[in-house]
Amino acid sequence: MLTDNLLAAARSHEAAIVDLRRAIHADPELGLETPKTLAKVKAALADLPLTWHEGPSCSGAVAVLKGAQPGPSVLLRGDMDALPMSEHTGLHFASQVPGRMHACGHDAHTAMLAGAARVLAGKAGEIAGEVRFMFQPGEEGFHGARFMLEDGLLGGTADYPLPDAAFAMHVWPNAPHGRIEGRAGAMLASADMIEVWVKGRGGHASLPQDTVDPVPVAAEIVIALQTMITRRFNATEATVLTIGKIEAGTTNNVIPDTCYLLGTIRTLSPERRQAMKDALHEVAVNIARAHRCEAEIQITPGFPPTMNDARAVALGEAVALSLGGEEPWHTRPAPTMGAEDFSYVLEQVPGAMFFLGVAAEGVDWQGCDGLHSSHMVLDEAVMPKGSAFLAGCALRFLDKGWA
């Protein structure tokens, strides 16, 4: 079978996978422009028979590997950008750029995808179809996947249609070493930014009756929004609304004109996403009006929910089991409320995102530093399994489709 010996093939490239990951980790880039990271990837894969596609909107690129025979196409994705935060891991290859760190594992995602490309190139003569390797910047809130779709890098024309399936993997420090996790349906949440300006009329703090104080009104809105979630929406579909910032005033004896709220809404379906936006307007506007204030609301759309196709999850489970290990597969009982811009791809192409446990063997994985921690580390020994899994998803789909 095409999927035989994938793990051994990936392990034969372990040194190259780890070296690429460390080079990217030490030199992190942010946002939509990650040219140095892409250059490292291209150099690492320069000897492979890949055709590269790039677009005008960002430094993302898609490398295409054509099999010996025509057939369907499958997309594999790895993201390249880091986070604007300082690193405190003490690693000898820690970030050399102050205030930047690969704390979400994108360095590993990119290196594992490059490893998958090398494994699949070794089987190109047996492949009917093509594999597209999506090296994407701007996942950390910059909508890089959407830009690459809009640039046509993933397909969308008669000569270069969208792929028939798409797969991605995200490292998970708080999961056992080498365990692959997934679930059908909602895997991750949508994430929208909300801003509320409660506008009153300021004045002297000793004369509140002569003012319209927006601060207690804003506080009431915060509490009312939490109550609204528990009393208006079914608790079986998780919904999170968090106010992360409240800002008002300049000193102790002045009632301000305005109080500002900044937060996030996270939901698991397009319907709940819209319902939450409507409810936010209703609650904030009417509470403000009841206290002679005005509420101005702005919602900045973030990523949509990440929805896994059940057929793709079943395929991923079969590949994970074929790779073996002490605990090769785990079906997640519930989504996580984090968000992922691979969701843009899954809106247009059937597929799935999976998690890969990267805790070291034998440690208390539940107590490991998690994603976006300045202390987050991963066990590089698991990375060949990630490459083998991605390659296996591509090969199984090209060989058997959704069967």
- 273, 192 contact by CB (below 8 A): yes
pLDDT tens across 112-134, in order? 999 999 999 999 999 999 999 99
Residue 326 lies in a domain: yes
pLDDT tens across 196-245, in order? 999 999 999 999 999 999 999 999 999 999 999 999 998 888 899 999 99
CA distance 403 to 393: 13
Residue 1 lies in a domain: no
For residues 55 and 151, membership in a common domain is answered with yes
CATH number of the domain residue 48 falls in: 3.40.630.10
Residue 360 lies in a domain: yes
For residues 312 and 391, membership in a common domain is answered with yes
Residue 259 lies in a domain: yes
pLDDT of residue 253: 97
CA distance 196 to 136: 32
**How many structural domains are present in the chain?**
2
For residues 201 and 164, membership in a common domain is answered with no
For residues 155 and 41, membership in a common domain is answered with yes
Q: Which two tokens stand for residue 173?
A: 């420090």
Q: Which of 259, 285, 300 is the last residue of a domain?
A: 300
Range(s) of the domain holding residue 374: 6-188+305-400
Q: Which two tokens stand for residue 55?
A: 């677009």
For residues 278 and 352, membership in a common domain is answered with no
237 or 70: whose pLDDT is higher?
70
Q: Is 324 left (phi over 0), alpha (psi -120 to 50) or beta?
A: left
Across 22-41, average pLDDT: 98
Residue 292 lies in a domain: yes
For residues 89 and 108, membership in a common domain is answered with yes
Whose CA is closest to 135, among 115, 121, 120, 160? 115
Does pLDDT of 63 surpass 80?
yes
pLDDT tens across 150-179, in order? 999 999 999 999 999 999 999 999 999 999
pLDDT tens across 317-370, in order? 999 999 998 899 999 999 999 999 999 999 999 999 999 999 999 899 999 999
pLDDT of residue 322: 95
pLDDT of residue 237: 86
For residues 127 and 153, membership in a common domain is answered with yes
For residues 236 and 321, membership in a common domain is answered with no
- Mean pLDDT across the chain, nearest whole number? 96
For residues 110 and 144, membership in a common domain is answered with yes
For residues 274 and 229, membership in a common domain is answered with yes
Residues in the chain: 403
pLDDT tens across 259-316, in order? 999 999 999 999 999 999 999 999 999 999 999 999 999 999 999 999 999 999 999 9
Q: Which of 300, 321, 338 is the last residue of a domain?
A: 300
CATH number of the domain residue 281 falls in: 3.30.70.360
For residues 165 and 60, membership in a common domain is answered with yes
Residue 340 lies in a domain: yes
For residues 119 and 158, membership in a common domain is answered with yes
Among 2-11, 56-65, 113-122, 393-402, whose mean pLDDT is lowest?
A: 2-11
pLDDT of residue 326: 86
Task: Output the pTM of the full model.
Answer: 0.93
Q: Which of 300, 315, 337 is the last residue of a domain?
A: 300
pLDDT tens across 75-97, in order? 999 999 999 999 999 999 999 99
Radius of gyration of the chain, Cα coordinates, nearest whole angstrom: 24
Residue 44 lies in a domain: yes
pLDDT of residue 235: 84
pLDDT of residue 1: 55
**69-79 and 128-136 beta bridge pairing:** parallel
pLDDT of residue 4: 64
